Amino acid sequence: MKDCVFCRIIAGEIPAAKLIETDVVLSFLDIAPVNPGHCLVVPKRHVATLLELSQDELNICIFTVQRLAGAAARATGAVGFNVLQNNGRCAGQIVPHVHFHIIPRSPDDGFKFGWREGSYAEGELEEVQRGIRKLL
């Protein structure tokens, strides 16, 4: 897709600090990193969300994420890492090409999630469970 920044990186039209490249995936350093070593894994085929990946593409993406997470953490001296994958603008997906973030972490890096804990009303948990299981 010619308007997609990741497709343009994959095509070599935009430079990137590449890390791993296969016939299926490309990984590179994020140019606006949360922390040093923040990298991305993208499938070469343009698809917008996780739900559109084939099982083979997903397996290769996740294997690449696993390899990079360890390497990025060791290279930066991080003691942990986050793997993030957003689907849809409301979930924080800015580029509509499926991608996985790997963010090396240290205890004092200052990065915080805006996580909030909710709860279910009486019977709601079971209702949601039934709805999801019905669609599986």
Question: Active-site positions?
Answer: 99
Q: Would you call 29 helix, strand, or coil by DSSP? A: strand
Cα angle 50, 132, 94; round to 5: 30
Q: Residue 9: left (phi > 0), alpha (psi -120 to 50), or beta?
A: alpha
- Cα(40)–Cα(33) distance, integer angstroms: 10
Q: Which two tokens stand for residue 37?
A: 């070593």
DSSP string, 61-108: HHHHHHHHHHHHHHHHT-SEEEEE---SGGGT--SSS--EEEEEE-TT
